[in-house]
Structure formats: structure tokens, C-alpha cells
Amino acid sequence: MAESKTVHSPLVTYASMLSLLTLCPPFVILLWYTMVHADGSLFQTWEYLRQNGLQGFIDIWPRPTAIAWKIIACYAAFEAALQLLLPGRRVEGPISPAGNRPVYKANGMAAYFVTLTTYLGLWWFGIFNPTIVYDHLGEIFSALIFGSLVFCVLLHIKGHLAPSSTDSGSSGNVIIDFYWGMELYPRIGKNFDIKVFTNCRFGMMSWAVLAVTYSIKQYELNGRVADSMLVNTILMLVYVTKFFWWEAGYWNTMDIAHDRAGFYICWGCLVWVPSIYTSPGMYLVNHPINLGTQLALFILVAGILCIYINYDCDRQRQEFRRTNGKCLVWGRAPSKIVASYTTTSGETKTSLLLTSGWWGLSRHFHYVPEISAAFFWTVPALFNHFLPYFYVVFLTILLLDRAKRDDDRCRSKYGKHWKLYCQKVPYRVIPGIY
């Protein structure tokens, strides 16, 4: 039985599935159109649609072009090659519900360095101009929307015909299977992990590549990069660098260890991340706002501090798990709860739940600096338009939902131990509030 049935009720799954399928693709195109062609103004786009109706919307939806497919294909092939070929240490993921332990090759930081160096090198030596990516952005997003849908269908078929491990199976409902996914760890062959590719090497990597692209485009337009764009790009790159530095830790999180590879996560990483997550930079290309040194430095330092706290939260928990609780947390021995649980194969195992340090403040405190960091790399856009802040709003909803889903999953996994944990750490996300 697919684990997804315990995550949301079928009704919520149907509603979110249908809304994601029908609303997200047009939203990606409307966001791109508004940022690039309507001055970032929702009102301007609304007026255009009011006057021109559905036909007007069809007219602004770019058709995927050969150059868009070529850019996507080259990028995807390059990232897949780096994932397979670059050396990296062997890392074991957490034990899955069916008792499997996936093995990964941790070469994300090397792939990240090679990707950005190659991209900037191609620009520097006049081989490929990154502004081409910006100029064809609508067509690229359009191609990603359709291409990723086909990719998800193929994943669904693979889950039926050739699952990679016993962590797979059908819920008996084709819509839920397509939405939440059939397999937890789909692979091509023994070594090519599909989720690592979609989530990390395609999705997160594209975030950094596009952040750099937007800066280069603004430079080519104006002959300089405004301090607002610099702050936005630096913070996004610091965040993505932190992600790849900690990539092996990401493989222990909900995205990889609990959410199956379906439309929800794969389409999200292949389309939503490159378009929505990068959108504050997309807005700034045509809005070279001057913040002044003092304000720019304040935003930069505040953003870096948030990213560091987010990293330190994850590092603290990872170190605690790695040493089996035999480490120092904020200079003293950690307080913890020993929780036992039963796997689907009937084995009894134990986990340690950390209740001090950052993890004593709230059960998902690491989401607070993550949302704050997103605010700081968006705020250089100032407050003339709401749309640049859509990502911050979306991220807040996503992480609050994820915190709830994680709590529900842990409640059913750990039972009375989780109840005891919630008594010790009563707040879910924001200490003292929620």
C-alpha cells in the first residue's frame, strides 16, 4: 500500500492534484510573462487578460522551440554525466519503511562547482551567452512544463513494470499513484538515482544557474549590476552552495526518504523550482533598484545569518544522529528521547529524538531561518509589486504543510514516544506562537 494514503485524505489529494495539474502550468507562464513583459505588475497582466480573454492567454503562452529543447537537453545531459562520473564518497541513506538502505555517491559540491565554472567560462570566452537562456525563458518553461509531464508518466509506468526496490507499490488508485508516486527510490541501472537528479542536480542546480543568468542579463542591459541584484544573487548562491555542501543530509529528509517520486515532487523540482524559486531575480533584471551600500550590506548580512542558522540546525541534528547522541549541543550533553518503532517487515528499531539546541526551540525550527532567508533575498525588490514575494508566501505554506505532514507521520510511527516528545517540545515551527 502506498504510504501516501496516510499523508492526506483522498479528497485533499484529488483537490491538490487537480489544482496542481490545471493551475500550476498556466501560473508559471503568467508569472514569467508578468515579470518579463508586464513590469512585474499583476494589475497590468490582469488588464491584458480582461481585455483579451482566453485567446489573449493562449497568445502569450510561448511555444516550446528547438533552441529551448536544445538548452534543456544539453543542461540535463551535462548534469546527469556529472552525477554519474564525478568521484564522491559513499553515503548510506536512512533505512526505508521496507527495510532497505539506499546508497549514494556524494559528489554534489563538485558538480555544483563544475557547473558554475563551466557556465561562467562559456560566457567569459564568448562560446555561449547566458542571456540566450533569459531571452528564451518563456519557451524553456513551456518546454519544461510539457516535458516534465511526460517524464512523470514514464516514471509511473516504470513503477508498475520495473520498480527499483521493494519500496514501491500501488495504492489501487491511479490518480493518487500518479500524484504521490509509485517508487520511493527509482533508479536507472544500479547507480543513477532519479530523485537525486530531479531534486538536486536539475532543480536546485538550475536555481544557481538562473540566478547567475539574471545578473549577466542585467549587466548586458545596463552595463552594470545593481546592488539589489548583487544582494539577491549572492544570497541565492550562498543558499544553493549550503544546499550542495549539505546534500548528503538532504537525502535524510522528507523529500527523499518519505515522499515517493511522483508528479508532486518531480514536476515540482523540474518546473516549479527553476521558475518560481528564481522569480525575485527574474523581476530584478528589469528593475535595477539602487539600495545604497548601508541597506544592501544590512540585507546581505541578515540573509547570510539566516542561511547559517538554517545550516546549523541541520548540522546539529546530523551530528547528533551520527554520534548516536554522544556529542555536545550548544556546549553541553544533548537531551533526547529514545523512541522505538516497527518497520513494515515487523522489525523493532529505535531512533533518537533530539530535544535541545535548535531542536528544543520547536520541532521544525529550521523552517524559520529558511523562510526568513527567502524574505531577505526578495526584499531588494522593495515593495512596488507583490509578485516578487509570491515565492516567500508559497514557501511558508509549503513548509507549514510539510511540518504538519512530518508530525502526522512521526505520530503514527513513534506513538507514545512522539507524545512525550511533543510535551518536551510543544511548538511545531515558531517558538511561543505555533
- Strands of 39-93 (E only): list them: 89-92
205-222 vs 66-85: helix axis angle to the nearest 10?
130
Three-class SS state of 362? coil
CA distance 305 to 311: 10
pLDDT digit string (tens) for the chain, length 434 residues: 334 344 556 777 688 778 878 899 999 999 999 999 999 999 999 999 999 999 999 999 999 999 999 999 999 999 999 999 999 999 999 888 888 899 999 999 999 999 999 999 999 999 999 999 999 999 999 999 999 999 999 999 999 999 998 888 888 888 889 988 999 999 999 899 999 999 999 999 999 999 999 999 999 999 999 999 999 999 999 999 999 999 998 998 888 888 899 998 999 999 999 999 999 999 999 999 999 999 999 999 999 999 999 999 999 998 998 898 999 999 999 999 988 888 777 788 888 999 999 999 999 999 999 999 999 999 999 999 999 999 999 999 989 998 998 899 899 889 999 999 999 999 999 998 88
Q: Which amino acid is at 115?
A: T
10-37 vs 137-161: helix axis angle to the nearest 10?
160
CA distance 280 to 283: 5
Three-class SS state of 154? helix
Q: Among residues 359, 370, 379, which one has the least CA distance to residue 427?
A: 359
The domain limits of the chain are: 8-290, 291-433
